[in-house]
Structure 1
Amino acid sequence: MTPRERAVFVAAYTNLVVDVWSNPHSERQLADDPRGLLARHGVPVPAGTRVVAVRDVAGSEPDLDVQVRYWQEATSTGELRLVVPALTELATAELDEAELDSVVAGVQSTCACCCPCCCS
């Protein structure tokens, strides 16, 4: 695989993953017609190759090199494992009143209402 071929695959695969994360129709298509989803994103799949969608692999980080290897080996194995990791949610926390009072739009509240010239 040339660096250009790899770059084209990585860009298409990345767009596919983002599409699945953000579009319920694409998420359903991943389950129902992964070959069609790959085609829609410009990822060629050799004829006769079975596409197996793997979702939400618990306890593992997405590994782009592994996905590239699966794509390269699809011709010889007859199977393409298409790994689409779970979209992890960011941790959220409530701020208490003291924390809210100490921050105003990312600036300490003691300087939020004055012009820069009076803080020197």
Structure 2
Amino acid sequence: MKNKIYATIVISFFVFLVFMIVRSYYINYQIENHGQIIISKYVSYKSFSKSQENYFIYYINDKRVKNYASDNDSDFRQNIGKFYKIKYLSKYPDIIHPIYEEEVTDTTEILEAGFSKEDL
């Protein structure tokens, strides 16, 4: 009886683990292929031994959101205060994919994205 319970727990754990991995890949695929592009402001970072969290502020439905994306590029932190495009899904607004190569400098476009003149 104990062996069956132990086997059930182990199998359940592996099924859950596989589910979480597949879900993560699915969400990333959906964002990359069907995500909406919006403008965000790069506001801060936190460095760790092998990675970095880049924090962005953006607006979704007039609601200000602060979120981060993990990245290994430590040189990017010199761009604090600049605006960049990010991709997200409305179903998962807390998961973002910054497009680091696409800096936004058009102030009209930035203001239309929900930012104020003080944010510039």
TM-score exceeds 0.5: no
Would you tell me which structure has more helix in proportion to its own residues? 1
Shorter-chain TM-score bucket reads: under 0.3
